[in-house]
Amino acid sequence: MARVRRHFLIEGRVQGVGFRHSAVGKALSLSLTGWVRNLPNGAVEVQAQGEEDHVLEMEKWLRRGPSMARVTRCTVIERPLEREETAFTIRHF
């Protein structure tokens, strides 16, 4: 299966609910690399890279988020692979 990288913008009640830490756990369970960060406007931004079926599974999770989150929108944009990336981390804006 092909490797892909996708950029996600998650909107709704997604800050203050453990979204970033939960996203890291989910990404690691799927062997993905990339990052997650809170944005000043209250959204969460994610880039995830790996096997396409694993990135699709991550997208399904991002559309729900952790139990306290209420996702109202998930925008997805294709991105080029970052070949040197080796981890999935929390970034700070």
Catalytic residue among 5, 6, 38, 73: 38
Q: Is 63 a catalytic residue?
A: no
70 and 13 Cβ atoms separated by less than 8 Å: yes
Q: Is 38 a catalytic residue?
A: yes
Report the run of H or E that residue 55 belongs to, with start and end.
helix 52-62
Catalytic residue among 3, 20, 73, 83: 20
55 and 8 Cβ atoms separated by less than 8 Å: no
Known catalytic residues? 20, 38
